[in-house]
Amino acid sequence: MDGSLTYRLATENDLIDIINLLADDTLGSQRETLELPLPESYRRAFAAIASDLNQELTVAELNGDIVGTFQLSFIQYLTH
């Protein structure tokens, strides 16, 4: 692995890779299933996240492959 890890906002085209990552985890394997075509519930969830200005779904790429993902939630706080 000689590339650099990069981060970017996820797109709907990344859903298969994201679900695959989630399903390939001890906890995720109990609740996620990678089936094609993807269940519509994943597309609806992605659309809700993407349209919410207080949410960001991010993917990490290494040498062009998605190797990680996280969701960042912005919470309003009184003093800032």
Whole-Å CA distances, 41 to 6, 12, 35: 28, 13, 12
Widest CA span in the chain: 46
Instruction: Write out the two tokens for 16.
Output: 């298969």
Task: Give residue-wise pLDDT tens across range 65-79.
Answer: 999 999 999 998 887
Rounded (10°) CA dihedral 59, 28, 20, 8: 0
Answer CATH for 5-73 from 3.40.50.720, 3.30.300.30, 3.40.1410.10, 3.40.630.30: 3.40.630.30
pLDDT in tens, 15-63: 999 999 999 988 888 888 888 899 999 999 999 999 999 999 999 999 9
Taking the C-alpha atoms of residue 23 and residue 30, their distance in angstroms, rounded to an integer, is: 8
Domain ranges of the chain: 5-73
